[in-house]
């Protein structure tokens, strides 16, 4: 069976086969436990509240956003945010994209269907909903995501910087035009990207899967650090597969940290892997979720 799937991938492309693969899985595994009406659309989400939640204490909220052709329960599975939520005591919500395969409207291009403002409004409405139901700390709301979900986190930094304290991204597809991004304040960023990513190329440009002019990841992250007026650039020493760069002394403490995973694919480092023949290697050399949370803890929103 695996041989047949590999042959199909060579004929039709890994991206199309991945859509089929996760589409079938979605039909049997998707689950959500909440919904709301936003901009006239019914939108869904998967919420996880740890058993240790104390309604008398302001609690951080982590918004974790799935990638193209994925769904909330799958994002929870690969990222393992729930396990860390049990340990650290924060709430996690996994919003659901639209259409089939599910996706986020993040390009901002007139040639691409869908208004990005609708998805931004949904996340804003979702935060409003959760703030009425739980004791959410407004200074500690964080967004992160995989691939298209990483691109959505970037869009939230552009449009909801007054509410999102910091963002994280794994294998991010940063397709929203930078000239349309005008955050009201510098937003801290932590990002991870494999240099062998077959879906969103590390060096930028179109991939075998998508005819999209992805930016160079290194250049894009450096531009974000410049946007945040960071003064100090420090290499993160090579440690096996992991290297990177940290930018500090930034405006309003909006630090930027970037990890490169040598040989890493389009996957969540330290998380549960997606099949390697579709997305490449899932590195276990760094726990992106845990490292991301450590970064988030250091960057609350100062209002």
Q: What is the pLDDT of residue 113?
A: 60
Q: What is the pLDDT of residue 53?
A: 97
Q: Is residue 3 part of a domain?
A: no
Q: Is residue 14 part of a domain?
A: no
pLDDT, mean of residues 93-109: 88
Q: Which among 174, 158, 168 is positioned nearest to 190, based on CA atoms?
A: 168
Q: What is the pLDDT of residue 112?
A: 52
Integer CA distances (angstroms), 251 to 185, 191, 224, 256, in order: 9, 19, 12, 11
Q: Which among 26, 23, 20 is positioned nearest to 46, based on CA atoms?
A: 26
> In terms of C-beta density within 10 A (0-12 exposed, 13-18 middle, 19 or more buried), how is residue 14 classed?
buried
Top-confidence range, 95-104, 189-198, 274-283: 189-198
- Residue 41 pLDDT greater than 50, yes or no: yes
Q: Is residue 218 a contact partner of residue 200, using CB atoms and an 8 Å limit?
A: no
Integer CA distances (angstroms), 234 to 30, 107, 225, 244, 255, in order: 42, 31, 12, 9, 12
Domain extent at residue 278: 32-297
Q: Is residue 267 part of a domain?
A: yes
pLDDT, mean of residues 78-82: 98
Q: Is residue 96 a contact partner of residue 43, using CB atoms and an 8 Å limit?
A: yes
Q: Which residues of 148-286 form beta strands (DSSP E)?
A: 166-170, 189-194, 232-239, 242-248, 256-261
Integer CA distances (angstroms), 19 to 68, 97, 209, 264, in order: 9, 15, 11, 21
Q: Is residue 11 part of a domain?
A: no
Q: Is residue 132 a contact partner of residue 53, using CB atoms and an 8 Å limit?
A: no
Domain total in the chain: 1
More confident residue, 15 or 300: 300
Q: What is the pLDDT of residue 212?
A: 84
Q: Is residue 7 part of a domain?
A: no
Q: Is residue 19 part of a domain?
A: no
Q: What is the pLDDT of residue 206?
A: 85
Q: Which of 25-34, 37-46, 272-281 has the lowest mean pLDDT?
A: 25-34
- Residue 89 pLDDT greater than 60, yes or no: yes
Q: Based on DSSP, count helices (H) and strands (E) in the chain, helices before strands.
A: 9, 10
Q: Is residue 6 part of a domain?
A: no
pTM of the predicted model, to two decimals? 0.90
Q: Is residue 18 part of a domain?
A: no
Please name every residue paired with 36 in a beta bridge, in sequence order, or none if there are none: 43
Integer CA distances (angstroms), 17 to 11, 193, 210, in order: 10, 22, 13
For residue range 216-236, what is the model confidence (pLDDT) as tens digits?
Answer: 999 999 999 999 999 999 999
Alpha helices in 54-169 (DSSP H): 72-79, 81-88, 116-133, 148-159
Q: What CATH number is attached to the domain comprising 292?
A: 3.40.50.1820
């Amino acid at each position: 069976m695996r041989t047949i799937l590999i042959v199909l991938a060579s004929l039709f492309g890994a991206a199309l086969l991945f859509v089929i693969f996760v589409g079938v899985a979605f039909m049997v595994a998707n689950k959500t436990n909440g919904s709301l009406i936003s901009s006239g659309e019914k939108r869904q989400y998967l919420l996880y509240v740890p058993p240790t939640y104390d309604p008398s204490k302001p609690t951080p909220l982590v918004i974790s956003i799935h990638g193209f052709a994925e769904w909330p329960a799958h994002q929870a599975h690969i990222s393992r945010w729930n396990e860390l939520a049990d340990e650290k005591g924060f709430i996690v919500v996994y919003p659901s994209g639209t259409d089939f395969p599910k996706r986020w409207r993040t390009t901002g291009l007139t040639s691409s269907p869908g208004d990005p403002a609708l998805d931004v409004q949904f996340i804003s409405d979702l935060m409003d909903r959760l703030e009425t139901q739980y004791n959410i700390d407004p200074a500690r709301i964080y967004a992160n995501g995989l691939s298209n979900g990483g691109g959505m986190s970037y869009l939230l930094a552009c449009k909801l910087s007054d509410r999102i304290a910091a963002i994280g991204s794994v294998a991010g597809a940063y397709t929203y035009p930078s000239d349309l991004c005008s955050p009201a304040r510098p937003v801290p960023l932590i990002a991870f990207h494999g240099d062998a990513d077959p879906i969103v190329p590390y060096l930028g440009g179109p991939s075998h899967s998508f005819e999209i002019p992805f930016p160079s990841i290194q250049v894009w992250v450096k531009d974000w650090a410049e946007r945040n007026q960071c003064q100090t650039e420090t290499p993160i020493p090579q440690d096996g597969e992991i290297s990177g760069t940290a930018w500090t002394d930034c405006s309003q403490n909006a630090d930027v940290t970037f990890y490169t995973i040598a040989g890493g694919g389009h996957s969540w480092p330290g998380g549960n892997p997606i099949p390697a023949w579709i997305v490449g290697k899932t590195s276990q050399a760094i726990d992106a979720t845990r490292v991301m949370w450590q970064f988030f803890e250091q960057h609350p929103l100062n209002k």
